[in-house]
Amino acid sequence: MKRGKRYKELIKLVEEEKAYTVDEVIAILPKLKSAKFDESIEAVYVLNVDPKHADQNVRGVITLPNGTGKKVKVLVFAKGEDARAAENAGADIVGAEELIDKIAKENFLDFDVAIATKDMMRDIGKVAKILGPRKLMPNPKAGTVTDDVAKAVKDFKAGKIEYRVDKTGVIHTIIGKISFTGEQIKENFLALNEAILKARPASVKGQYVTKAFVSLTMSPSLRIDVQDLLKLKK
């Protein structure tokens, strides 16, 4: 991949072979800012798991203490009182069968999170093949299938995120913005780290986290010392 001049300058600030502590990463991140927009801070965990086995398909939800810094567009599949509750809670898009038809016919995917009441799940199954690959399919484990849509909407608007391994055993998620203070970044990262470590499947033998990285949207990655991750506490 051809890299621009700006990226080549940034790479000089990163020791490729070094495994940084979390505190070192937080100190370096502001120096890696190069874009004119407020870059996201991205965390990557490479796990020693086989997602093909159901008990090793690591996933969960967590509310980051300081949110993600991103305005989250929430869609809710609901009817009647539940639909009104979702609207009052700040949902951006609310609907039922007509919304499912729009996704099916127009490939409508202009939202970040989809929440649904339990009674809507059978109908939503019609668009599972569209939503699933994009990680937008409502799921009880992600807190997006619920009887309390108002709370779910508020939680995701406030910074609740889902983390899950992909088919290669990698978790990739956003933990904030570079405009956050160092303390806010660390609090968010520690919350994510604790959740992932607690989610270790009992069937995993040997080392669970094999590698971890943090980067900005437009920056090189900083490799984190895995042993430092294991010692961290919120």
Tokens of 63: 């509310």
Quickly list DSSP for the chain: ----HHHHHHHTTS-TT--B-HHHHHHHGGGG--SSS-PEEEEEEEES--TTSGGG--EEEEE-TT--SS---EEEE--HHHHHHHHHHT-SEEESHHHHHHHHHH-----SEEEE-GGGHHHHGGGHHHHGGGT-S--GGGT-B-S-HHHHHHHHHHTEEEEEB-TTSEEEEEEEETTS-HHHHHHHHHHHHHHHHHT--TT--S-SEEEEEEEETTS--EEB-HHHHHH---
**Per-residue exposure over 63-74, b if at least 16 CB sit within 10 Å of its own CB, e if not:** ebebbbbeebeb
**In the block, residue with structure tokens 């668009």:** 127
Residue 27's pLDDT is: 95
Token pair of 88, please?
């009052």
With 0-12 CB in 10 A as exposed, 13-18 as middle and 19+ as buried, what is 171? buried
Phi then psi dihedrals of residue 46, to 5 deg: -100, 115
What angle is formed at CA 173 by the lines to CA 183 and CA 51, rounded to 5 degrees?
135
- pLDDT block averages, 10 residues each, the chain of length 234: 69 85 95 93 97 92 92 96 97 97 96 96 96 93 93 93 93 96 96 95 94 94 92 71
Backbone angles phi, psi at 19, to 5 degrees: -105, 110
Instruction: Check if the beta carbon of residue 198 is closer than 8 Å to that of residue 230.
Output: no
What pLDDT, on a 0 to 100 scale, did the predictor assign at position 16?
Answer: 79
Domains of the chain, each with CATH number or no CATH: 15-67+161-231 (3.30.190.20), 74-158 (3.40.50.790)
